[in-house]
C-alpha cells in the first residue's frame, strides 16, 4: 500500500505541474485584456488559491488519518472507541466554511455589480452600442451609431466602453470573448446587455459558447480592437466601399449555414428590429417570474 500512497502523491504533483505549465502559457481567461475580464481573472486566481488551500487541508487530514490509524499499525486486539462527536469540533467544522462562504459572498456580490455595469475606469464615457445578434450559425454586428453592419467579425475602438445588446434569430446562443469578459445569452424574445471594454488594441477570439445545433462549433468570430482614429477610419472606409444591407439580402443570410466576413452599410435593425421585451441587466429583480412580468409590460 505504501507504493500506492506514493503513486497518489506523484500523480498529484504531476497534475500540479501540468496545471502550472498551463497557467504559464496564459490561458485565455487568465490573460485578460479588459476591466471585466480582469475582474473575473482576479476572482479566478483568488478562488484557485483559496480552494487549493481547502483541498490541501482535506488531503493532509486524510493522509494523517490513513497513516496513523491503519489496522496494520495497531495491535490486533485494539478496539476503536465509540465517538459521537464533540460540539467544539463540529462548531469549527461548520464555522470555518461559514466564514469562507461569507467572505466569498461579499466578493461575489461585488463582482456581480462590477461586471454588470460600465467597465471600471471608463464610467465617464458614453458607451458605444453594438447589437450582436446570432442566427444559425453566424453573428451579425449592427452599429446603429455608425450605421454599419458586419457579419462574423467585430471591430471595436479600444479604451471605450462597449454596450453589447444581444439577441438571437433562433436557438439560444452565448456571446463570449474570453479575453474581454465572460459570456451572456442571446435569446429570441428579449435583449440582454453585456458591458465590455478593451484596454488596448489587439485581436481576440470570440465565439458562441452555447450549443445551438450542427454548426455551433464553427460559430466563431474575431474581435479586433483598435485606436479611435483607426476605428473612425474603418467606419469611413466602409461607408465609401460597402453595399447597403437590404431586407432581401438579410433574409437570405438568416438561412442556416456558415458565412465568411461580410460588411454592409445600414443595419438590419431598420427593417427587422430587435425584440422589444427589454432585459436590461441593471434592473433589480429578485426572481425570474417577477422579472418576466416586468418585461411583458
Partner 1 sequence: MGKVNNNVPLEYSTEENNLKIFGFWVFLGAEIMLFGTLFASYFTLSGRTGNGPTGAEIFEITPVLLETFILLASSFTIGLAIHAMRLGSKKATMSFMIITLLLGAAFLSVEIYEFMHYAHIGAGITVSAFTSILLTTLGTHGLHVTFGLLWGTFLVIQIAKRGLTSVTAGKTFIFSLYWHFLDVVWIFIFSFVYLKGMM
Partner 2 sequence: MKEFFAQFAIPHPSLLIYIAMASMIIGGIALVAIVTYFKLWGYLWREWITTVDHKKIGIMYLLTALLMLFRGGVDAMMLRMQLAVPDNSFLDAQHYNEVFTTHGVVMILFMAMPFITFFFNYLVPLQIGARDVAFPRLNAISFWLFFMGMGLFNLSFVIGGSPDAGWTSYFPLASNEFSTSVGTNYYMISLQIAGLGTLITGINFITTIMKMRAPGMTLFKMPMFTWSALIANLIIVFAFPVLTVALAMGTLDRLFGTQFFTMDNGGMDMLWANLFWVWGHPEVYILILPAFGLFSEIITTFARRNLYGYNSMVWSMLMISVFSFAVWTHHFFTMGQGALTNSIFSITTMAIAIPTGVKIFNWILTLYKGKIVITTPMLYALHFLPLFTLGGVTGVMLAMSAADYQYHNTMFLVAHFHNVIIPGVVYAMLGGLTFYWPKMFGFMLNEKIGKATVWVMSTGFLLAFMPMYITGLDGQARRMYTYSESTGFSLLNMVSFIGAGLMTVSFLMLVWNIWYSFKNSSRDISSDPWDARGLEWATHTPVPVYNFAIVPNLEKGSPEAFWDAKKNGVELFKGKIEDIHMPNNSGQPFIMSIFFFIAGFAMVFSMWPMAIFGLIGVLATMAVRSLEDDHGYHIHAHEVEETEKSYDKGGAK
Site for partner 2 in 237-266 (CB under 8 A): none
Q: In terms of CB distance, is 147 or 278 closer to partner 1? A: 278
Q: In terms of CB distance, is 20 or 200 closer to partner 2? A: 20
Q: Give me the half-sphere count of Cα atoms (radius 13 Å) on the Cβ side of residue 76.
A: 0
Stated as kind and residue range, the H or E segment containing 264 is strand 262-265
Among 205, 236, 252, 258, binds partner 2 (CB under 8 A): 205
Give the pairing type, strands 162-168 and 181-186: unpaired
Q: Considering CB under 8 A, how many residues would be counted as binding partner 1?
A: 5
> Whole-angstrom Cα distance, residue 256 to residue 219?
11
Q: Is 244 left (phi over 0), alpha (psi -120 to 50) or beta?
A: beta
CA 118 to chain centre: 16
Cis check for the bond before 137: say yes or no (omega within 30 of 0): yes
- Residue (of 197, 223, 157) closest to 35 by Cα position: 197
Binders in 74-103 for partner 2, by CB under 8 A: 74, 78-85, 89-90, 93-94, 97-98, 101
Judged by DSSP in three states, 197 sits in coil
> Whole-angstrom Cα distance, residue 34 to residue 200?
8
Binders in 238-297 for partner 1, by CB under 8 A: 289, 292-293, 296-297
Q: In terms of CB distance, is 73 or 276 closer to partner 1? A: 276
293 binds, among partner 1, partner 2, none (CB under 5 to 8 A by kind): partner 1
161 binds, among partner 2, partner 1, none (CB under 5 to 8 A by kind): none
- Cell output for 26: 496564459
- Write the binding mask 272 to 291 for partner 2: x where contact by CB under 8 A, - elsewhere: -------xxxxxxxxxx--x
103 binds, among partner 1, partner 2, none (CB under 5 to 8 A by kind): none
Sheet containing strand 220-226, edge to edge, reads 153-157, 220-226, 202-208, 173-177, 181-186
Q: In terms of CB distance, is 18 or 200 closer to partner 2? A: 18
Question: With CB under 8 A as the contact rule, which of the stretches 68-76, 120-128, 233-241, 259-267 interacts with partner 2?
Answer: 68-76
Give the pairing type, strands 173-177 and 148-151: unpaired
Binders in 123-182 for partner 2, by CB under 8 A: 136, 166, 170-172, 174, 176, 178, 181-182
**DSSP annotation of 183:** E
Q: In terms of CB distance, is 144 or 170 closer to partner 2? A: 170
Binders in 33-72 for partner 1, by CB under 8 A: none
Least separation, in Å, of the C-beta of 292 and partner 1? Answer: 5
Least separation, in Å, of the C-beta of 247 and partner 2? Answer: 18
Interface with partner 2, residue 294, by CB under 8 A: no
Neighbours of 190 (CB within 10 A): 20
> Whole-angstrom Cα distance, residue 191 to residue 104?
30
Residues that bind partner 1 (CB under 8 A): 289, 292-293, 296-297
Amino acid at each position: 500500500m505504501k507504493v500506492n500512497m506514493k503513486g497518489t502523491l506523484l500523480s498529484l504533483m504531476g497534475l500540479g505541474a501540468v496545471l502550472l505549465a498551463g497557467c504559464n502559457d496564459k490561458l485565455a481567461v487568465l490573460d485578460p485584456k479588459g476591466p471585466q475580464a480582469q475582474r473575473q481573472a482576479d476572482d479566478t486566481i483568488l478562488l484557485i488559491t483559496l480552494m487549493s488551500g481547502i483541498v490541501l487541508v482535506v488531503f493532509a487530514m486524510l493522509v494523517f488519518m490513513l497513516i496513523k490509524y491503519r489496522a496494520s499499525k495497531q495491535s490486533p486486539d485494539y478496539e476503536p472507541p465509540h465517538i459521537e462527536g464533540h460540539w467544539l469540533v463540529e462548531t469549527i467544522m461548520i464555522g470555518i466554511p461559514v466564514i469562507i462562504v461569507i467572505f466569498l459572498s461579499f466578493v461575489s456580490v461585488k463582482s456581480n455589480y462590477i461586471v454588470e455595469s460600465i467597465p471600471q475606469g471608463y464610467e465617464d464615457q458614453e458607451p458605444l452600442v453594438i447589437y450582436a445578434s446570432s442566427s444559425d450559425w453566424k453573428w451579425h454586428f449592427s452599429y446603429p451609431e455608425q450605421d454599419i453592419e458586419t457579419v462574423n467579425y467585430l471591430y471595436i475602438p479600444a479604451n471605450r466602453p462597449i454596450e453589447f445588446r444581444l439577441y438571437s434569430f433562433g436557438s439560444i446562443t452565448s456571446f463570449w470573448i474570453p479575453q474581454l469578459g465572460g459570456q451572456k445569452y442571446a435569446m429570441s424574445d428579449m435583449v440582454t446587455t453585456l458591458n465590455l471594454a478593451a484596454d488596448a488594441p489587439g485581436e481576440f477570439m470570440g465565439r458562441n459558447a452555447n450549443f445551438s445545433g450542427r454548426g455551433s462549433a464553427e460559430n466563431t468570430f474575431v474581435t479586433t480592437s483598435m485606436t479611435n482614429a483607426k476605428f473612425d477610419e474603418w467606419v469611413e472606409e466602409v461607408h465609401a466601399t460597402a453595399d447597403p444591407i437590404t431586407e432581401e439580402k438579410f433574409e437570405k443570410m438568416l438561412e442556416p449555414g456558415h458565412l465568411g466576413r461580410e460588411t454592409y452599410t445600414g443595419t438590419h435593425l431598420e427593417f427587422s428590429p430587435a425584440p422589444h421585451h427589454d432585459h436590461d441587466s441593471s434592473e433589480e429583480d429578485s426572481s425570474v417570474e417577477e422579472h418576466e412580468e416586468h418585461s411583458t409590460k
